[in-house]
Amino acid sequence: MNANIAIRSYNQVGLESGVTAADPHRLILMLFEGALKAIGNAKSEMQRKEIAAKGKSISHAIRIISEGLDASLDKTAGGALAQDLSALYAYMVRRLFDANVKNDTATLDEVSRLLSELKEAWADIRPNQSQTMPASQSAHNVQLVYARG
């Protein structure tokens, strides 16, 4: 997937501005942030018993995960890691559906934790950072998981 497709996916899921100026790495971070924000909103709305708003926020998070994060994976170049991430994203989507149906904040917390861990890992492999170890090759390999622009 190229950067233009990622930008369109990002815009379609209704996230904040700044997309067109974002590099592909930052764009993925923004998708993580948007999904986490939507889940946080859903949790608050669930606690306030705002059913329609909760459903909308969970749907928003699902779209970011499936149409943004999962769709951005390069499943050819990314190999097994991309396939594993795709399976994890599918699991998250199922759990969000469960949370919506059961009004379960613990399930929202579970998905938030998973997304937060992925977001932190993704932030740690920022391209073009000066690297003092051979880890630069590992960072390059992980960068291949998400399609380049």
Tokens of 104: 């379960």
Query: pTM for this structure?
Result: 0.77
Amino acid at position 22, single letter: A
Answer whether residue 124 shows pLDDT above 60.
Answer: yes
Q: Where are the alpha helices (DSSP H) in the chain?
A: 3-12, 24-47, 51-63, 71-72, 79-102, 105-124, 135-143
- Condensed to tens digits (0 to 9), the pLDDT of residues 77-103 reads 999 999 999 999 999 999 999 999 999
Rama region for 79: left / alpha / beta (φ>0; ψ in -120 to 50; rest)? left
- Condensed to tens digits (0 to 9), the pLDDT of residues 16-69 reads 456 566 688 889 999 999 999 999 999 999 999 999 999 999 999 999 999 999
What is the domain partition of the chain in residue ranges? 3-125+135-143
Positive or negative CA dihedral for 48, 67, 129, 78? Answer: positive
Q: 3-125+135-143 has which fold?
A: Four Helix Bundle (Hemerythrin (Met), subunit A) (1.20.120)
